[in-house]
Amino acid sequence: MQENKEEIEYLVGRERMVRAGGIDLWAEEFGDPDHPAVLLVMGAQAQGVQWNDGIVRRLVGGGRRVIRYDHRDTGRSSTVDFADQPYTVADMASDALAVLDGFGVERAHVVGASLGGVIGQRLAVTHPHRVLTLTSLSSQPLGTDTAAAVQRAMEGAPALDGELPPPKPELLAALVSAFPEPGAGLEGYLAARLPLWRVLHGPVLPFHEDEYRAMERRVYERARDLRAGLNHTLAGAAPVGSTAELASVTAPTLVLHGTEDPMFPPAHAEATATAVPGARLVMIEGMGHTLPAALDDRLAEEILRHTGKAPGATA
């Protein structure tokens, strides 16, 4: 009975606020503190709880200590006045290190989705001693100027020679109306967000609206300021390194990507895997730029397999 009680306790999140450079970051850990740590880093404008509970449970069941957190300007973490306190993706990478420090973790398996993948790549370049393994999920290579590519695409201009493909036109159209006017309330917010999730989800796997509605309801209820996350776009406009720097990455690297990703088409994953020595590329058939519950098993399986191969994989 005692063992069952301990197992249940490990599946209940333990929350704390971590201080990082004058701001507070909400964070939550699961699992046995003596197990190898996995840091889950979400993408732009996304909260830590958008890492599905199902993925977290499977990673904990596989013998991992799992930590997820809200970026600055999302969820329960601090919001800032960007004009007075501008920051960059490099600063957001420092936030990730602060979270690890807050939990007493010297080295972790870093799993980053979308912008979180870029943050993970940045850490693998600048702080290799902190990164046991790297998993870059639904992301793109460090140093890619996404903002400029999106701007050209929205203006109808052709891509530059050698430039990675921009987001799909239907996604660019959905992004225009993805945020409701202030005061729209929960239903107005959901009405604006669900069409975006339909496009991000992709056309192949079944789209379960109730799943995305529940996720966005949770986001709405936790947020200090729903529009603050738009500052991540401003942060991403500043240079954060170059793709060439990925040649220095020594952490075993897995590149996970959906075949139907409308934000970063598969060429982004191929470029990342090419740039990182020894990286393994795994394409998930039918997956778009979201983490639907139907893929919890597959994604957790890939992450567990990858993080189990690292030498000296201890918390």
Task: Decide if 78 is catalytic.
Answer: no
213 and 194 Cβ atoms separated by less than 8 Å = yes
Catalytic pick from 73, 95, 261, 296?
261
d(CA 108, CA 68): 12
- Distance of alpha carbon 219 from alpha carbon 125, whole angstroms: 31
The answer to whether 289 is a known catalytic residue is: yes
Please identify which of the residues 77, 78, 114, 136 carries the catalytic annotation.
114
Rounded distance between C-alpha atoms, residue 189 and residue 167, angstroms: 23
* Annotated catalytic residue, options 71, 268, 289, 306: 289
Q: What beta strand segments (E) does 3-60 contain?
A: 14-20, 23-30, 37-41
Q: For residue 151, what are the contacts with CB-CB under 8 A and spacing of at least 6?
A: none
How far apart (Å, rounded) are the C-alpha atoms in residues 117 and 123? Answer: 10
Alpha-carbon gap, residue 201 to 210, rounded angstroms: 13
Closest CA to 113 of 222, 260, 240, 254: 254
Q: Taking a C-beta distance cutoff of 8 angstroms, is the pair 237, 244 a contact?
A: no
Tell me if residue 313 falls in helix, strand or coil. Answer: coil
Residue 261 appears among annotated catalytic residues:
yes
Closest CA to 51 of 296, 264, 301, 294: 296
User: Quick one: tokens of 198?
Assistant: 């339909």
Q: Which residues are catalytic?
A: 114, 261, 289
